Amino acid sequence: MLATLALLVLALLFGGMVLYSFGFAAFLFTTLPPETAGPTIRKAFPHFYLFVIATAVLAALLLWPVDPLAAALMALVAATTVPTRQILMPAINAATDAGAKGRFARLHGLSVAITLAHIAAAGYALARFA
């Protein structure tokens, strides 16, 4: 039962991150004008990061007795999402507001790399169930 719950929460985390990153964000920027898409995505990101933090923590707790390595990876995802949300995201927003395109590109690239690493970690943890 615990392994099933862990697997479901892990699948929710992986699917949620993939859907948000490759579905929702892309959808906004292809269907809405930039002056609407930008502020909308800015309002959505804090909620996305809270989802990742909460779901990764829950996955880590459920995985601990089943797969300590996967649990540690999910704890790492949660831990690294906190500064991404609290420090990196506001820095990206400040660069956007200041019109600092180079700084925005570097910071946004870092946030994309972090998210891709989180997706890879969750995917690896899921694959351990196979």
- Name the residue range of residue 11's domain: 2-127
Helix (H) or strand (E) holding 37: helix 34-63
Matching residue, tokens 């099933």: 4
The mean of the pLDDT values for the chain is 96
The pLDDT score that the predictor gives to residue 130 is: 82
3-state secondary structure of 33: coil
Q: Give the chain's domain count.
A: 1
**Each residue's pLDDT tens digit in the chain (130 positions)?**
989 999 999 999 999 999 999 999 899 999 999 899 999 999 999 999 999 999 999 999 999 999 999 999 999 999 999 999 999 999 999 999 999 999 999 999 999 999 999 999 999 999 998 8
Neighbours of 62 (CB within 10 A): 22
Q: pTM to 2 decimals?
A: 0.95
Is residue 67 left, alpha or beta, with left meaning phi > 0 and alpha meaning psi from -120 to 50? beta
Euclidean distance between CA atoms 109 and 115, whole angstroms: 10
Euclidean distance between CA atoms 126 and 130, whole angstroms: 7
Q: Is-contact 73 124, C-beta < 8 A?
A: yes
Euclidean distance between CA atoms 78 and 82, whole angstroms: 7
